[in-house]
Amino acid sequence: MSEQPAPSPAPAPTAGAPSSDAGDSLLPGSPLPAGIASALKRDGAGLVAAIVQQFDTNEVLMLGWMDDEALNRTMTTGRVTFYSRSRQEYWRKGDTSGHVQWVKSVALDCDGDALLVRVDQVGAACHTGTRTCFDGRAFDVVAGSAS
């Protein structure tokens, strides 16, 4: 695997932690601008769910996890980087498979606990080789109606 092991995610900065200046200043321990870092609501491991969506079709491709460093890399390199909970290392989508995710935009949900990463997906998004991680995995449900 070409991904390099990395240390565990840094402890999550505390929302409202002091910073040296307003605007682009960083919260202690985070590579992100203070406004972004303070808006994130991380889980106990310092991670935020990242929903990945194809930018032109709105197809939901996958779900991954990001800490501040993975989000910073995603926002500054044009390629999506995740933090693997099982391997406890950073990985960049496509480094081994060639199925690259080119970043088009990143947005934070209203609660601050989920990211929407819109990408241009090259090849399969799922490690199983399917286009999305949801292909062929639908449940039988009773469909509701607004009327």
Helical ranges in 62-140 per DSSP H: 68-77
What is residue 27's predicted lDDT score, i.e. its pLDDT?
62
In the chain, alpha helices (H) = 34-39, 68-77
Per-residue pLDDT of 31-84, as tens digits, reads 998 899 999 999 999 999 999 999 999 999 999 999 999 999 999 999 999 999
Contacts of 18 (CB under 8 A, 6+ apart): none
What's the pTM value of the predicted model, to 2 decimals?
0.79
Query: Can you give the pLDDT at residue 29?
Result: 82
pLDDT, mean over the chain: 85
Q: From 65, 69, 64, select the one nearest 7 (Cα to Cα).
A: 69
Q: Quick one: pLDDT band at residue 18, thresholds 50, 70, 90?
A: very low
